[in-house]
Structure 1
Amino acid sequence: MMIMRSEDTLEDIELDLLIEAIWRRYQYDFRDYSRTSVLRRLQRAQAHFGHANLSGLLDQILHEPECLPELIGFLTIQVSDMFRDPDYFRAIREKVVPHLRTWPSIKVWIAGCANGEEFYSLAILFREEGLEDRTLFYCTDINTAALARAKAGIFEIDRLPGFSRNYREAGGKGSLSDYYTANYGVARFDPTLRSRVVFADHNLASDAVFSEVHFVSSRNVLIYFDRALQDRALGLFARSLPPGGFLGLGTKETVLFSPERENFADFAPDEKVWRRRSHSSQEAAYAE
């Protein structure tokens, strides 16, 4: 439900109507995303589609559904790097993996996988640590075009020097070039890295928990949500993880100011990794 404010500008009203229309027409829910971030992205879409205002974009998106995938591309962030923030991946390798080894099978959820950089980073790491054969990865995003790119595993060759540098700093045990072939200006990553992955459309704003997993990696996603949606996403992660499971977030993200904080214990806080507690007070009260 839209809440009208007395100080609303015409652009505020247009923004509310456009966000509501995307939800009601296509069931993509951006209502609890950071308003400033959504406005900025929709203004870029408005310029791209050649409209003078958001009302023009609203009319087009209501009557030309074929434009929706391109609009979703503006509303979601697909920019990342392989082994981005190498200290995070080093912490996964050195601190988290020894605990994951204790499970006979492992499920990993990469929530907001974008074009797949995070997935290929973890798939390589798990292969090098001997966990690949007993790990199932779930890679989810709301952007179906990004999911298709992740499935393809193809990246521009000029991005590889940065990827390789991150890989080395993250504790890589070989050469990143062992995992791809390069030709015609692109790098194609080894298709066997995708032998144990499920790519799926999942919306943290409206969808439910779909499986128990042992490790959730959702980095640089929560920063685009408002506080209520951050809490919802953290709740999904908490309910997905068994006691002792792990949650990894982005460098500017935290569980500390959420009601879900009680579900997580510090594990490697400097690298933004938390561990699922055995029981929260809410769960204990429910169990009684």
Structure 2
Amino acid sequence: MKQQDIAADEQLEIELLLEAIHRKYGYDFRQYSQAHTRRRLEHRLHLENMGKFSEMIPRVIYEEEFFTQILLDLSINTTEMFRDPWFYKRIREVVIPHLRTYPFLKIWHAGCSAGQEVYSMCILLEEEGLKGRCQVYATDFNDRILAKAKDGIYPMDLVREYSSNYLKAGGTGSLSEYYVAEYNNVVMKRFLKEQVLFSSHNLATDGVFGEMHMICCRNVLIYFNRDLQNRVMELFYDSLCPGGFLCLGTKESMKFSSVADNFEVVCGKEKIFRKKRRR
């Protein structure tokens, strides 16, 4: 059999597996990037000593624990505190002055993963005196990852890098003020979570989060295909109040979105956009 025929058959098996996941459990990965999906499923294939993607289908249907593992495999969980420090520095310098003009703020972290970027934003809001009048929504489709975000427990060996990022992002104190050390981990302090609501939301299938003043969804859209990226962009547009800010990842673009003309660029390098006000 030709190599291209083998690749086409394997892609068909992957599509059938994703269809089974969607029909059985309601999670929709059918419009995720083919390269990302294949890479993560190949990893599971080797760990389970399976020969074909199609062998996963009955296990996904009949073994809920195996499905849960596949869900973790397909989740996007690469993040860190104050990732891209220069992004947070620009939030402080450019976005915060606008947010100060509102009596109450609503901020949505979409695809929050294990929560490091949520806590980063909460620390920034605390230091800028805005946290007390802010409601933060942290969402992800994976309940296990969401539980980790809510716990706010991270390995101690990552703290040095987190602390360096914090200072480069314009931190006004020490990151150690915001966590408690426990054995080989750090636990984010309870007060950081007081205005945070952790809840399940699937960008591929769920609806609008209304009237947000800022939405952060960084380094998630790169794992979606063009159609799903556009759907999510429209969702963000509908979820933002006029003049609200949208923050994307460094490799993400609004260029091909159907709502691109409804946003203005605030910081090009940092991928910070603002929803235009109607005239």
- TM-score, length basis structure 2: 0.96
- For residues 186 and 155 of structure 1, the distance between their equivalents in structure 2, rounded to whole angstroms, comes to 5
1:78 aligns with 77
**Residue aligned with 2:269, SS:** helix
Matched AA of 2:58: D
Residue-by-residue CA offset, 1:242-280 (whole Å, 9 max, x unaligned): 11100000000111221110121011111110000114x
Q: Distance in 1 between matches of 2:38 and 2:93?
A: 40
Give how far 1:110 is off: 0.2
Are positions 1:253 and 2:252 aligned together? yes
Change (3 A) 1:33 1:106: same
Task: Please list every run of 5 or more consecutive structure 2 residues that lacks an aligned counterpart in the other structure.
Answer: none
| Secondary structure of the structure 1 residue equivalent to 2:56 | helix
Q: How does 1:203-282 map to 2 (within 5 A)?
A: 203-279=202-278
Task: State the Cα deviation string for residues 161-189 of structure 1 (Å, max 9, x = none).
Answer: 11000000000000000101112100011
Question: Aligned partners of 1:198, 1:7: CA distance in 2, in Å?
Answer: 46
Q: How does 1:10-159 map to 2 (within 5 A)?
A: 10-159=9-158
Q: In structure 1, how many angstroms separate the alpha carbons of the residues matched to 2:149 and 2:160?
A: 19
State how far apart, in whole Å, the 2-side matches of 1:24 and 1:16 are. Answer: 12
Give the AA of the match of 1:32.
Q
Segments of 5+ residues of structure 1 without an aligned counterpart are 1-5
Provide the TM-score with structure 1 as the length reference: 0.93
Give, as a single letter, the amino acid of the residue that structure 1 aligns with 2:11: D
Counterpart of 1:186 in structure 2 is 185
Secondary structure of residue in 1 paired with 2:138: strand
Q: SS at the partner of 2:106?
A: strand
Q: Is the 8 A contact 2:113 2:140 kept in 1?
A: yes
Report the alpha carbon displacement of residue 12 of structure 1 after superposing the two structures with TM.
1.4
- Per the TM alignment, residue 47 of structure 1 is displaced from its structure 2 partner at its CA by 2.0
* Contact 1:69–1:143 (8 Å) recurs in 2: no
Please say if residues 219 and 252 of structure 2, whose CA atoms lie closer than 8 Å, have aligned partners that are also in contact.
yes
- Aligned mates of 1:8, 1:21 — CA distance in 2: 20
Indicate if the aligned counterparts of 1:246 and 1:276 stay in contact, CA closer than 8 A.
yes
Contact 1:219 1:250 in 2 (8 A): yes
Q: SS of 1:114's equivalent?
A: coil
- Is residue 204 of structure 2 the alignment partner of residue 167 of structure 1? no
Count of matched residue pairs: 276
- Name the structure 2 match of 1:3: none
Residue 275 of structure 1 aligns with an amino acid whose one-letter code is R
Offset, 1:8: 6.6
Q: Is the 8 A contact 2:61 2:67 kept in 1?
A: no
Counterpart amino acid of residue 244 in structure 1: G
2:44, 2:70 within 8 Å by CA — same for their partners in 1?
Answer: yes
CA RMSD of aligned residues (A): 1.5
What is the CA-CA distance between 1:66 and the residue it aligns to?
A: 2.6
Q: CA deviation at 1:208?
A: 0.5
The Cα of 1:211 is off from its aligned counterpart by: 2.4
Percent of paired sites with the same residue: 45
DSSP 3-state at the match of 2:112: coil
Residue type at the aligned position of 1:228: D
4+ aligned runs moved over 4 Å, structure 1: none
